[in-house]
Structure formats: C-alpha cells, structure tokens
C-alpha cells in the first residue's frame, strides 16, 4: 500500500458527518481545541492556521469513548490521497493558502520541550518566521496523546489579517468531484434502531453509495 492509499479515520457527531458527506470540511483554529499546548507558542501567524485531526487507528475503544460520549458518533474513512486532493483543490482556488498533511510525532516531555524551543527560536527571528513553522508546531505532541495515532490536515495563510474582533474560529472547505469518504461506521454502543435511522438518512436521503454499518468492536464471535 502506498502512502496515498493509507486509510485515515475520523469519529465525529452525526450532524457534522452529514456536512462532510455533503461536501464540506471544517478546519478549526487550534484555539478551539482542549489541549492548551496546541497554542502555547505565540507568533505573528498564529491567527492564520487551521487544521483537522484524523487517525490511523481503525478500531479503538478509547477513540469511541472520547469522541462519541453519547454513542451518537460515526466514524468516517478516507485515504491520504483523497484528502490531499480536497486540500489541493482548495489551495488551487485560494492562492494565499498552503497545505500540510502529516503524521503527528509524539515525544516525551523533555523531547517535546526541546523541539518546541527550537521552533520557537526560529519564530523569534523575523528572517525565519513563517506560518509553516506554526504548522510544524501542530505536528508534534506529547506522548500522553500517543493513543490517538494522529494525522494532521493543516491549512495556513500568511495573508490573513489579525482582526480586532479576535481569531477566526475556523474555515469551511467546500469540495466536489472527489469521493472523499468511502465508508461510514456507527458507534458499537449505539441502539440498533438509531443505526437503522442514520443508515436510512445516509443512504436514501444523501445517496451515499459507500459501505454503511455498525462497528463490531464489542461483538463476540461464536466459536
């Protein structure tokens, strides 16, 4: 399997998943995330970087519990190449944007501080400071988060002005012509009646032709 064919997964609320299936990806500003380490290094481009978090973990009890606390989450599956296509299409239409799709590197506390300090030193030098360094910061995390097996999709724009009203919370990337999602999986704890209703909406209302099923994470196979 080539790197472009590598599967990526994302668990999200059903209504958010519907927006993706309709052709819209939401890239958040890192200030909207819970981990304060995502934004603890301040720089002149920190208002102009937006990202999405995907994972290479196809089957994870921890991920269902974190991102589907009410059993209402669904898991979407894509490939690196398809997500790259969507991001490339956006940057082609929005010339001031650049993109990055990269596996997150997990470091112990000492290693994280060392690597962060090295990037921070470059940011402090006006000759080297650029939004790509902000993207570099988003591609390293502390080892406490290693269970996420994360890939980061990042868009950054050096021409964004910092508004007086504050940092923009995110941007919407609309796309067409790319079959981004190839399968939808429901929470293994979700009631069957709910799964049936969601499957009906995804297949019959949205016309999604990919695989739609309920996770068998907790299904005991008969011997």
**Low pLDDT (below 50) residues in the chain:** 164-165
Phi, psi torsion values for 191, nearest 5 degrees: -60, 145
Rounded to whole angstroms, the Cα distance separating 180 from 21 reads 8
For residue 164, the model assigns a pLDDT of 44
Domain interval for residue 45? 3-214
Rounded to whole angstroms, the Cα distance separating 30 from 38 reads 6
Residue 219 lies in a domain: no
For residue 131, the model assigns a pLDDT of 84
For residue 2, the model assigns a pLDDT of 65
Residue 223 lies in a domain: no
Residue 221 lies in a domain: no
Torsion of CA 174, 176, 180, 182, to 10 degrees: 130
88-110 pLDDT per residue, tens: 999 999 999 999 999 999 999 99
For residue 222, the model assigns a pLDDT of 67
Residue 145 lies in a domain: yes
Q: Please, are residues 64 and 216 in contact by the beta-carbon 8 Å criterion?
A: no
- pTM of the complete model beyond 0.85: yes
Structure-token pair, residue 22: 């309709």
Structure-token pair, residue 171: 């941007």
Residue 130 lies in a domain: yes
Residue 12 lies in a domain: yes
Residue 112 lies in a domain: yes
Q: How many domains does the chain have?
A: 1
For residue 63, the model assigns a pLDDT of 92
- CA distances in angstroms from 200 to 190, 203, 205, listed in the order given: 15, 5, 7
**Residue 136: strand, helix, or coil:** helix
Residue 222 lies in a domain: no
């Amino acid at each position: 399997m080539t790197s472009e064919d590598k599967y990526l997964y994302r668990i999200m609320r059903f209504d958010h998943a519907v927006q993706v299936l309709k052709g819209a990806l939401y890239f958040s500003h890192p200030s909207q995330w819970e981990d304060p380490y995502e934004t603890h290094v301040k720089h002149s481009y920190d208002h102009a970087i937006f990202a999405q978090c995907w994972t290479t973990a196809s089957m994870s009890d921890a991920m269902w519990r974190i991102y589907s606390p009410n059993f209402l989450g669904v898991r979407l599956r894509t490939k690196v190449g398809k997500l790259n296509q969507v991001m490339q299409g956006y940057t082609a239409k929005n010339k001031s944007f650049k993109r990055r799709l990269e596996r997150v590197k997990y470091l112990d506390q000492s290693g994280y501080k060392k690597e962060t300090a090295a990037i921070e030193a470059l940011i402090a030098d006006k000759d080297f400071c650029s939004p790509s360094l902000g993207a570099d910061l988003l591609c390293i995390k502390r080892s406490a988060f290693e269970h996420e097996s994360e890939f980061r999709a990042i868009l950054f724009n050096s021409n964004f002005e910092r508004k007086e009203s504050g940092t923009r919370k995110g941007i919407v990337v609309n796309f067409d012509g790319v079959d981004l999602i190839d399968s939808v999986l429901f929470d293994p704890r979700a009631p069957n009646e709910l799964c049936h209703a969601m499957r009906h909406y995804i297949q019959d209302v949205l016309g999604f032709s990919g695989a739609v099923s309920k996770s068998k994470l907790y299904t005991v196979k008969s011997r």
